[in-house]
Structure 1
Amino acid sequence: MADGYLHIDFQQSGNVVFDRRMVRQAFIKIGQQHLSVARRLIASRDRSQPGQNPGSESGQLSGSIGFYVPNATSRRPGFMVRIAPNQKRGRGKTASITGDYYPAFLMHGVKRGARRQRRHNRGASGGSGWRIAPRNNFMNESLEHLAPWTRYVLAQALRRALRTEGS
């Protein structure tokens, strides 16, 4: 996603101070907001239809959505936030019994007889061929919905984080 990436280089002179904590706090705020919007998009208790956002039967998918702001190291400054299902403090949490990544099944769908090579499993009438038809990507929808707000929050944080040494 090309528009979801922001990179800024600047030469820091002796009288400019950059406060990393303010930018990291902005990333935490962004992660919390995206998390709540994504959970709200899949909060419907109705059974979802193909192309719609997934419904919530047990709340397991909604509970697995999380965000992670990594700590700064010598190799990376820690200025990012990862927002995804099955994301608990940066470590994945499998939501299905088989250990497979369940949100991928929702987004891409599952064909009938996907593991088998023979196509006789569709039934006499042919059917649609889908066992689980693809659902809407609710994470992309939340990112698109909050993109202007995210840019605004990051710009404000960068503006507050850069200050002259005397002030």
Structure 2
Amino acid sequence: MSNPTINVTLGRWKTADFDKKPIRKVVRRSGLDVQKTARRLVNRKGKVSKAGQYPGRRTGELFRSIRSKQRNPFVAVVKPQKTAAMKDYYPLFLFKGTKNLDPRGDVMGDALEAETPQIVPKLERALVDALKWVPLK
């Protein structure tokens, strides 16, 4: 038995060049959009949340802790950061719950889910823009 061979013909194109700039821009913007949506979900002022609801906003510390950071051109991380005003990592207690506190709603997951329909087409377009074909000479 011989090994099967696959031939790929690029037609009149020699190679493809990949530019990360369009992707970096869309990923950064998408991370900021998810951050904005997550902050909007926890922005109910003065209301005490019940189990399964999104956390209310009394001091605004959770609201300010939700940040977006771009790790590389292809990854943006949006999560609540531990701030100096937090003695412990408070967002974990809200998400997982404790003995005396029932878990609250998944703010970050719901924010990403809400933004996904807008993010995917932007990323697809950025991938097309990032791929530049180099013609044969």
Aligned pairs, number: 123
Q: 1:109 aligns with which of 88, 94, 97?
A: 97
Displacement of 1:146: 1.3
Equivalent residue for 1:96?
A: 86
> Which segments of structure 1 move beyond 3 Å, counting only runs of 4 or more?
92-95
Displacement of 1:14: 4.5
SS at structure 1 position matched to 2:64: helix
Displacement of 1:95: 4.8
Q: Which runs of 5+ in 1 are unaligned?
A: 1-12, 72-77, 87-91, 112-130
Please tell me whether the aligned partners of residues 35 and 68 of structure 2 are also in contact (alpha carbons under 8 angstroms).
yes
Aligned partners of 2:85 and 2:110: how far apart in 1?
A: 21
Please tell me whether the aligned partners of residues 16 and 133 of structure 2 are also in contact (alpha carbons under 8 angstroms).
yes
SS at structure 2 position matched to 1:62: helix
Q: CA RMSD in A?
A: 1.9
Please tell me whether the aligned partners of residues 35 and 66 of structure 2 are also in contact (alpha carbons under 8 angstroms).
yes
Q: 1:160 aligns with which of 114, 118, 129?
A: 129
Displacement of 1:94: 5.4
TM-score, normalised to structure 2, is 0.81
SS at structure 2 position matched to 1:25: helix
Percent identical residues = 33
Aligned partners of 1:141 and 1:110: how far apart in 2?
A: 21
Aligned partners of 1:85 and 1:148: how far apart in 2?
A: 23
Task: Name which structure has the greater RCO, CA cutoff 8 Å, separation 6+.
Answer: 2
Aligned partners of 1:95 and 1:164: how far apart in 2?
A: 51
- The one-letter code sitting in structure 1 at the alignment partner of 2:54 is N
- Normalized per residue, the structure richer in strand is 2
Equivalent residue for 1:145?
A: 114
TM-score, normalised to structure 1, is 0.68
Please tell me whether the aligned partners of residues 14 and 133 of structure 2 are also in contact (alpha carbons under 8 angstroms).
no
Is the counterpart of residue 27 in structure 1 residue 27 in structure 2? yes
SS at structure 1 position matched to 2:29: helix
